[in-house]
Chains A and B, each alone.
Chain A
Amino acid sequence: MWNEEYDVVIIGSGFAGLAAAIEARKLCSSVIVLEKMAVPGGNSTISGGLFAAAGSRLQARENIEDSPELMLSDMLAAGCNFNHRELARIVAERSAETLLWTIDDLGVKYKSELSHLGGHSVPRTYNTENTSGAGIVRPMLVRCREMDIPIRLKTFLAKLIIDADGDMEGVEIREDYIFPNRESGVAKRIRAKQAVILATGGFGQDKEFRAIQNPMLTEDIECTNHRGATAESLICALQAGATPVQLSMIQLGPWASRDEEGFGVGSMFSMLAGFPYGILIDLRTGERFVNEQADRKLLVDAMLSSGRESIAIVDEMGVRHASTLEQCLKRGVVRKFNTIEELAIANQAPLAPLQATVASYNAVIEQGRDDRFGKPIPRDLEPLTHPPFYCIRLISKVHHCMGGIRVNPKAQVIRIDSNQPIGRFYAAGEIVGGVHGASRLGSNAIPECLVFGRIAGANAASEPSRSSL
């Protein structure tokens, strides 16, 4: 009946799955990670590597006052209080220690400068040295190899198997699966002596499923996620009795480029330079229309309303913060102009209004006035007076699933009918719903996935072992 048996079986090889594997393996002797794609890492490895932590070393160095409470209140504000507060609190509270774990234990390298992302009250975002989540995933994969944790690729979770007592007993998989062909591969059953952890990420690429949850997200809306971000594992969990949470809360990223596919290199340009140090204008009017540092939901809503065509403009000073600039220029995602006039002509924007917009924005900064859209004006913000000027054409793309299945603070999956944990069944990462409420703040997913991944791993490996077959 069973083909193989491990103490802990983990599905998904992103931040959450790998963190769970590393913690679990410390407490039990056999852990396996199953991954349907031909390469590991999911969304995690293509992410921007931005990591929010409240109370970090860099904050201390910069005398930035921050606390888990402040981070939590930012999360609740962006999430419109849809957040499952207890889970959000755990993320905020453990963000700093988890960041330290990546540095001191895994050896992850970060840039020495903090970023200030939209919706956060203070700069609290670390960025990996290579501006990519791969900067964290790689050391995790190395650690897994050292700890003898096999990561079995091309292995698709087809079904979760519950035993007679209603506890999770194992999984039905398809081995040698070829994405996205559901018929490919060979069916097998793997038993978990202690527990199963679901860490299969979001479903942003599942056009059908996301349109069911939010019909406004039509097929033609692009997506930043890796191709494997589909909903079948979520459906498996629901079949096993898990509780769905806020599945329609699907975030669009306002910073993605119109001139490349997916997340690309432009998104990080907007996030790190275009929005904080530049302006966002509507090409049809040449005017600003929103606080560039608002959280993603507000930005996307503003950008999508009345057919705006948005570009972000930043000058030579602000562009220093854009770590992907060279690649952006090389790929034509960001264009460079000597004057605002040239920029206006190339983008077919009305020149006079654009000049007026830049002038009045500069005046706000120079005179220390309040911005009429409420953009925070930190002291180090410079007016846009240093040519050349850079611009990126923007389009909103589906980015993150706030919704998912419900877990308790121990990362146990909660049954929909009994409101009690399903025995021996844990979940972590983007597959879990509720942490971020209506809108996830940038750089908050990495701490969430790592914090809850580690919790799930440690708890799963502490379950009493079933007897061997």
Chain B
Amino acid sequence: METNRLIHQLRAWEEDIFKEWLRRMRASGCLNSRITNREDFSRRFAGVIAALDACAREPQSSRSARSAQDCLCLAQPLIEEARFGQERGMDLAFFLGYFKTLISCIEKRMPGAVPDLPRLAEVMAKLRQVADSMELTVVAGWQADRPDRTAKRALHSGTSDKLLGAIFMSVGEGILLVDEDFEIVRANQHACEIYGLQHENIVGADIRSLLEETGASLLVRYFSEIAEGQRRHAEVTCLYVDGKTFPATVTVTRSDLDGRMYWSLIVRDDTNQKAMEKQLRDEKQQIEEMNLTLKTVMKSIEQDRRDFENRVAAKIKTSLLPGLKKIDAASEASVRRSYLAILEEQLVSLTAGFEKELDPNLLKLSRTEIEVCRLIQAGCSGKDVCNAMKLSFDTVQTHRRNIRRKLGLSGEKLNLRVFLMNRIL
């Protein structure tokens, strides 16, 4: 009878007990909205009360003989709750806190519920026993379930590992991880391609076998020199699977894991870059060479011009100006004429050294005669000249004779055209 009253009363106080429980959970900093769901509480409360009910109804005689097994039976609903909580990600300490607080809240109310309950102490002890056996089972179960949980977690970290692995494999640069024995322990796809090796062949290989000797010893030196987290670059020559060599840039970083040193190498095949660099270098050199040539040419042109100017200036000073003064001073026309002739000669001589010479005799030619000369110079035959100038053959022959005379070629064997070839008309 008293038991009925006790249970009944406690059930009636559920809401109060819930509030008390909430307060204490909050006070201990354990409040978590996901886990303080009222429905869950109701179910768990009912479970504890059911266990209590069972404890209270036990005949007195069996009280000391209560086996752990019986306790377990009573605790079963609570253990179910534990599983449920565990599945929803509740951690063990929190779960135990939840029930310890709940049971303690109930215990506190029990004396007030049925003040004169004779076996109160005993019932409470039994309840504690049930709670303890529940706790034991739950803790043990939690641990037994742990592999599962860690498996799940491992799966999680497994997937992120996989993700990292996928990224590692697909990065567009070669990555190698080397251990203290110089053995390559990881390699990504790009590294395989750079060296022409399958993954099975590159992993386990000695890093030094992928490089030419000088590069290999440089790398080994870097390995011993750099501190954890430090980074070094090296330009090395690497070996492709068929023995071909190629230039590469390697970035070495050291990272320590579990007390062992590892070096990660980022390898870049510089074949293309080197080819481009070489092309650029070649182009630059060509341009420089061209500049140099241009400069020399300009310089020599400049030099020539200056020489020319100097020569002209000197001539003007030494010959022309005195001539002019003399003409100025001469009163007689005949004298003037002779000076003018000299002056003319001097002027013409200024052009000496030119490829084509200005022949002073050419100045004696008439306009028609000069025209004839131009045509002859250009390679025209006598007939061509007749046609071009609309003159008769005889007239042209006369012009030719006069020209030869004026140029001082009369009686000479020299061909008129050959003579004219290097002369300016």
Contact = CB atoms under 8 A, between A and B. Distances in A.
Interface of A: 38-41, 45-46, 132, 134, 137-138, 141-142, 144-145, 151, 226, 262-265, 327, 330
B212 to A, nearest CB: 15
Given A141-B243, A144-B242, A38 B200 contact: no
Contacts of B201: 41, 45-46, 132, 134
A142 B200 contact: no
Contact of A40 (B200, B204, B241): B241
Indicate the member of B192, B197, B200 with the most A CB atoms within 10 Å: B200
Given A39-B192, A39-B198, A40-B241, 19 more contacts: A38-B189, A39-B196, A39-B241, A40-B196, A41-B198, A45-B198, A45-B201, A46-B198, A132-B201, A138-B242, A141-B241, A141-B243, A142-B242, A142-B243, A144-B242, A145-B243, A151-B242, A264-B200, A327-B204
A40 B201 CA distance: 12
Nearest to A261: B200
Nearest to B244: A145
Interface of B: 183, 189, 192-193, 196-198, 200-201, 204, 241-244
Indicate the member of B242, B243, B244 with the most A CB atoms within 10 Å: B242
- The 6 A-B residue pairs with the shortest CB-CB distance, nearest first, are A141-B242, A46-B200, A142-B243, A145-B242, A38-B193, A39-B196
Given A141-B242, A145-B242, A39 B200 contact: no
A144 B241 CA distance: 12
Contacts of B243: 138, 141-142, 145
Contacts of B244: 145
A338 to B, nearest CB: 24
A262 B200 contact: yes
A40 B183 CA distance: 22
Contact of B193 (A39, A137, A151): A39
Nearest to A143: B242
A330 to B, nearest CB: 8
A265 B201 CA distance: 11
A81 B193 CA distance: 42
Contacts of B200: 46, 226, 262-264
A145 B201 CA distance: 20
16 contacts: A38-B192, A38-B193, A39-B241, A40-B241, A41-B198, A45-B201, A46-B200, A134-B197, A141-B242, A141-B243, A142-B242, A144-B242, A151-B242, A263-B200, A265-B204, A327-B204
Contacts of B198: 39, 41, 45-46, 226
A265 B200 CA distance: 9
A263 to B, nearest CB: 7
A268 to B, nearest CB: 12
A403 B184 CA distance: 36
A141 B243 CA distance: 8
B180 to A, nearest CB: 11
A59 to B, nearest CB: 29
Contacts of A132: 201
Contacts of A141: 196, 241-243
Contacts of A265: 204
Nearest to A265: B204
A41 B183 CA distance: 22
Nearest to A263: B200
A327 B183 CA distance: 10
A39 B198 CA distance: 6
A226 B243 CA distance: 22
A138 B204 contact: no
A372 to B, nearest CB: 38
Contacts of B197: 39, 45, 134
A327 to B, nearest CB: 6
A374 to B, nearest CB: 34
A12 to B, nearest CB: 14
A142 B183 CA distance: 24
Nearest to B201: A134
